[in-house]
Amino acid sequence: MKENIQIKAVFFDAADTLFRVKGGVGNVYWSVSRKYGADSTPEQIEKAFTKAFKSAPPLAFPGVSPDDRKVYEKKWWYEVVRKVFSEVGMFAKFDDYFDELFETFRSRAWELFPETKGVLTTLKAKGLMLGIISNFDSRIYDVCSHLGINTYFDSFMISSEVGFAKPAREIFKLALERSSVSASESIHLGDSLQLDFYGARSVGIRALLIDKSGRYKDINDVDRIENLNQIISIIDHD
């Protein structure tokens, strides 16, 4: 990087950057819902989920106790999932279904990208601090533990806990403070152009967009990679 500033910390988005939903959200929602008499398709559910998720308020609850936060988190997701099935077809045992679905996304709904562990291992071996900055809820710790990556991270900045959701500058600033590093000593990697790339860049963090499909390759001012492994060569070059 310019001025030969050494990178000391690498921050990651979580879902769709380090890990993904096995088979996609629509498929998981559908596979659980069949047991409860739902009548819809994975494709219908996926489309309705995208709409409901984008229209939901920020997953952030400032100034609440840890116990209350877990209640708010589950209510937030209840509303998202309720909107999905209000659109594709509601069914009698929805509340029971939601309870099972919520727990499914605590662990077994997720899978790592093939390169994730190798990249984290390599970065950790270089002495870098690693952190997660994510618009997630408190299940992130169970998800990362289930996937075997929780011990790689020195910090977790989760929107539901810190009270700010990306792309708010505050969540990125808190991550820097927690790690005792400056923005110029940090890199943030995520898959969302607005939430991750522009969010991190707004506080001066070097932002990298992981763009596996090449969707953003024609945007000139976006520093992008197509595979997580590429971050290692970027850091080595710097």
Going residue by residue through the chain, which has 238 residues, state the pLDDT in tens, using 9 for 90 and above. Answer: 345 579 999 999 999 999 999 999 999 999 999 999 999 999 999 999 999 999 999 999 999 999 999 999 999 999 999 999 999 999 999 999 999 999 999 999 999 999 999 999 999 999 999 999 999 999 999 999 999 999 999 999 999 999 999 999 999 999 999 999 999 999 999 999 999 999 999 999 999 999 999 999 999 899 999 999 999 999 988 6
Query: How is residue 234 written in tokens?
Result: 């970027």
Question: Considering only the top CATH level, what class is 23-104?
Answer: mainly alpha
- Classify residue 127 as left (phi > 0), alpha (psi -120 to 50) or beta: left
pTM for this model (two decimals): 0.95
* Ramachandran angles phi, psi of 209, nearest 5°: -100, 125
**Which element (helix H / strand E) includes 133?**
strand 129-134
CATH 3.40.50.1000: which residues of the chain?
A: 2-20+111-237
Q: Report DSSP letters for 36-60, one per residue.
A: GT----HHHHHHHHHHHHHHSPPS-
C-alpha 2 chain-centroid distance: 29
Domain 2-20+111-237 matching CATH 3.10.270.10: the answer reads no
CATH 1.10.150.720 spans which residues of the chain?
A: 23-104
